[in-house]
Structure 1
Amino acid sequence: MVFEQSLEQIDPDTSQAIDSERNRQESTLGMIASENHVSNAVLEAQGSLLTNKYAEGYPGNRYYGGCEHVDTVERLAIERAKKLFGADHINVQPHSGTQANMGVYFSVLEPGDRILSLSLSHGGHLSHGHTVNFSGQLYNVEQYEVDPETGYIDYTELENQAREFDPDLIVSGSSAYPRTFQYDRLAEIANTVNAYHLADIAHITGLIAADVHPSPVGDADFVTGSTHKTIRAGRGGIIMCQQEHADDVDSAVFPGSQGGPLMHNIAGKAAGFAEALTDDFEAYANQTVANAKALAEVFTERGLSLVSDGTDKHLLLVDLRESHPEITGKEAESLLSEVGIVVNKNTVPGETRSPMVTSGIRIGTPALTTRGFKEPEMQTIAGLIVDVLDSEGSRNVQTEVAETVEQLCEEFPIYD
């Protein structure tokens, strides 16, 4: 019977693609800041038969029968998240960080309301109001920028902009800002203009859970995040808020913007949150930041220009315009990919090239830290990256770097 056949038997093409992706992950150095490798436990939970179960609604109040066990799973995810973050209310149903933001927007804003958020080219995110995203199409958005000289957010300028624009919601959070946000200062600014404050911690969820990065819980009205980046849990999103907003947030997620929750993903979240409560995870989070700082040190010594001159967290943004003006972010991404180092092109403050070309690259440490890399290996990898950028496409350099990458991957396997 077809029902009893394996994936390889019923669909060898898809099976081969999955095997090839596993080989790619094992044989390359994944340095995309938003990616990570989950544990076997999370894979087991996320790939479980919970994918079979519809569970519209919330634990204890579902629209379907037979939800007693998925109720247990969702309650576990919520309880563990509360231990990690200390929030009054937590919703673990959003399918992604973007849909978590959607849940917040829908809970307190009307179409045409005003959002003040960080510009995409200065490190922000599409879901914070970019015109190609629903957030920029439904709401009136103005964006703040980093100081072009320092690469840091100027909070005095941000407050002046907020007073002039008079937003209904201020968004803090980023996909490529290497520094911490001053959440208490942002709360003051939001209060001054009578706006809500949403802190999007998509990239740093794990760092905050491990107390190695400041938390916005208590300063922000709403906190959203991804659950699969630095926290290494099931893929999806999360919303945290004060109790007074709980009903509105839950209604905005279901039935407002989603149907049935992905219960297998929520199981992956529960398993990942259990891991995040351990001492091992705290050590991982600390090492993730230490590894990023090790990269920054070598890059600076070798002449690369870093936005804000370094990092406070898990990522760095390299501006190539000064050190390698002839290389675009797209070309740098391709050159590094050829030797097995996977990064992504990224816009930089003052960007003049298109988002598909860019003048910078974003480099992250979560996945390599999961594999067991520490400062010595990161220093080696940083040197390899600069060697490739400096080589002007030299085949000899490419070959030598690729050989070193292969050795590192063999020394630090993921799942073997």
Structure 2
Amino acid sequence: MNGQDLSTVDPEIADAVAAERDRQNDTLAMIASENHASEAVMEAQGTTLTNKYAEGYPGSRYYAGCENADTVEELAIERAKELWGADHVNVQPHSGSQANLGVYLAVLDPGDKILSLDLTHGGHLSHGHPANFAGQVYEVEQYEVDEETGYVDYEALAAHAEQFDPDMIVSGYSAYPREVDFGRIQAVADDVDALHTADIAHITGLVAAGVHESPVGVADFVTGSTHKTIRAGRGGIIMCDEEYADAVDSAVFPGAQGGPLMHNVAGKAVGFHEALQPEFTEYAEQVVANAKAIADQFQERGLEVVSGGTDTHLVLVDLRPSNPDTTGKTVESALESVGIVLNANTVPGETRSSFNPSGIRAGTPALTTRGFGESECREVADLIADVVDAPEDDATLEQVSERVDELTDAFPVYE
């Protein structure tokens, strides 16, 4: 190898990478599924492990030369077991969606029935949307949150399950701001002889830190992402009891994917190590406190917060009551122009297209990593409300942009 660095070999890519680092430093990341990984996690992901094929599992690989890959994967597994208290862990899925695919392949047959939350009510594509593999391979019906309260209606869920007789119930959501009663959903699953998969993709870190109820040891399967609130290497994870271990492992490899991305597994291991430190609990608690501060400030400014608040890392706002002519995409675009990056989102009882919905979703994991506390988050909520009220007013946008610059300078992500 010639030993040349990226800027010499491929300056165009180098420029794009540098520009992305600058963008993250200079903007406030509030997409609920995003976070800022540590330099150590990113270093682990940029190692020579990217060169190594390691099909199979530690101690049982299909290729020679996997002793170091085994060490990395074993550490990731043991750390995950310690974090979440799981009997069996598979750290190979490339994403949370592939973790869900692994579970489905392990225990379901094509045409089996899945009951999951509707996407417009906070569910996820991989839970059975018709555009996703799950909706194409399995028979799917979906439950909803109560449109008046914004909470999952567990009694309606139980009645739906009784009528539909699913083979699997999926809990865990991508835009649901309230704590999930996994035990209650497991009881519903038991009543109809269904399996229960809890997808904690968004709340892996909150569960690990004990600031959200854990479905591990309650649900039959727990899937998740390994970035988001856990801040580890980007990818997915599956946790289950030993009785399902062989089926899950076979479904992931060779069922759903080939060789694991060992550099990503290394990033997972490093992030799990960081999450095992005492300060991570303080971080997770602050994530929730910051989200509550934003929700409170939004309501003080007259915005409609779905469910009236949050128990997690995200806040969902329905723009229709206060700003009936303003769409989520309009607000998303205006905020991005001033350096606040969040996403338009559907809301319960959505009356618009999912491509231009009526709500916005704001998350606090990345702001908290940046060092923000409740006071800064309340101020950010005020800035967002200013833009919501006047998304096309140049003076407002300029004023907000200047304040965002001051905040990002005061709380840098990467020095």
TM-score (norm 2): 0.99
The residue aligned with 2:46 is: 47
CA contact (8 A) 2:330 2:391 kept: no
1:6-405 equivalences under 5 Å are 6-405=5-404
Distance 1:354 1:63 in 2: 47
SS in 1 for 2:230: coil
Letter in 2 for 1:91: N
Separation in 1 of the partners of 2:283 and 2:391?
Answer: 36
Query: In the superposition, relative to structure 1, how do residues 244 and 392 fare at CA in structure 2: closer, same or farther (>3 Å)?
Result: closer
Q: Distance in 1 between matches of 2:160 and 2:390?
A: 44
Q: Indicate the SS of the match to 2:237.
A: strand
Residues 400 and 15 of structure 1: is their aligned pair in 2 closer, same or farther, counting only changes over 3 Å? same
AA aligned to 1:244 is: E
- CA RMSD in angstroms comes to 0.7
| Aligned 8 A contact 2:331 2:391 in 1 | no
- Which residue identity is paired with 1:322? P
Long gaps (5+) in structure 1:
none
CA displacement, residues 56-75 of structure 1 (integer Å, 9 cap, x when unaligned): 00000000000011100000
Judge conservation of contact 2:124–2:173 (CA < 8 Å) in 1: yes
CA deviation string 1:357-386 (max 9, x = no partner):
000010000001000000110011000000
Once the two structures are superposed, residues 227-253 of structure 1 have per-residue CA deviations (whole angstroms, 9 ceiling, x without a partner) of: 010000000000000110000000000
Q: Distance in 1 between matches of 2:374 and 2:384?
A: 15
Residue deviations 1:97-141 (CA, integer Å, cap 9, x gap): 000000000000000000000000000000000000000000000
State the alpha-carbon separation in 1 of the partners of residues 76 and 217 from structure 2: 21
CA distance in 1, matches of 2:139, 2:188: 19
Q: How many angstroms does 1:353 deviate by? A: 1.3
Q: Distance in 1 between matches of 2:66 and 2:309?
A: 48
CA–CA distance in structure 1, aligned partners of residues 182 and 324 of structure 2:
35
Kindly, what percent of the aligned residue pairs are identical?
Answer: 66
**Hey, which bits of structure 1, 4+ residues long, moved more than 3 A?**
none
* Letter paired with 1:11: D
User: Secondary structure of 2:197's partner?
Assistant: strand
Q: Tell me by how many angstroms 1:392 deviates.
A: 4.5
Matched residue type, 2:316: L
Give the drift of 1:4: 2.3
Between stretches 15-24 and 98-107, larger displacement belongs to 15-24
Give 3-state SS (helix, strand or coil) of 1:4's partner: coil
Bigger Cα displacement from structure 2, 267-276 vs 6-15? 6-15
**Which amino acid in structure 2 is aligned with residue 309 of structure 1?**
G
CA distance in structure 2 between the aligned counterparts of 1:410 and 1:392, rounded to whole angstroms: 24
Equivalent residue of 2:114, what SS? Answer: strand
Contact 2:391 2:397 in 1 (8 A): no
SS in 1 for 2:202: coil
- For 1:139 and 1:402, the matched residues in 2 are separated by 47
Amino acid in the other structure paired with 1:367: A
Alpha-carbon distance in 2 for matches of 1:337, 1:325: 21
Describe the SS at the equivalent of 2:116.
strand
Measured in 2, the distance between the counterparts of 1:354 and 1:12 equals 40
What CA distance in whole angstroms lies between the structure 2 residues aligned with 1:370 and 1:162?
Answer: 40
For 1:374 and 1:260, locate their aligned partners in 2 and report how far apart those are by CA, in whole Å.
41
SS of the residue aligned with 2:321?
Answer: helix
In structure 2, how many angstroms separate the alpha carbons of the residues matched to 1:146 and 1:380?
A: 30
Q: For residues 265-311 of structure 1, what are the alpha-carbon distances to aligned partners after superposition, in whole Å with 9 as ceiling and x for unaligned?
A: 00000000000001111110000000000001100011000110110
Query: How far is 1:356 from its partner?
Result: 1.0
Give the drift of 1:180.
Answer: 1.1
What's the CA shift string for 1:67-98, capped at 9, x where partnerless? 01110000000000000101110000000000
Conserved 8 A contact 2:335-2:384: yes
Q: Deviations over 1:31-61 (max 9, x none)?
A: 0000000001101101111000000000000
Once the 2 structures are TM-superposed, how far is the Cα of residue 395 of structure 1 from its aligned partner?
A: 0.9
Give the conservation status (yes or no) of the 8 Å contact 2:342–2:362: yes
How many residues align structurally?
Answer: 415
Q: Distance in 1 between matches of 2:164 and 2:391?
A: 46
Separation of aligned partners in 2, 1:326 and 1:354: 14
Residue 326 (structure 1) shift = 1.1
- CA offsets, 1:314-368, max 9 Å, x none? 0011100111111101101001111100000101111121111000010000001
Instruction: In structure 2, list runs of 5 or more residues that go unmatched.
Output: none
Name the counterpart of 2:414.
415
Counterpart amino acid of residue 50 in structure 1: L
Aligned AA (1:310)? G
Q: Distance in 2 between matches of 1:281 and 1:167?
A: 38
AA in 2 matched with 1:261: P
Query: What one-letter code is carried by the residue in structure 1 that aligns with 2:98?
Result: Q
| 1:322 aligned counterpart, secondary structure | coil
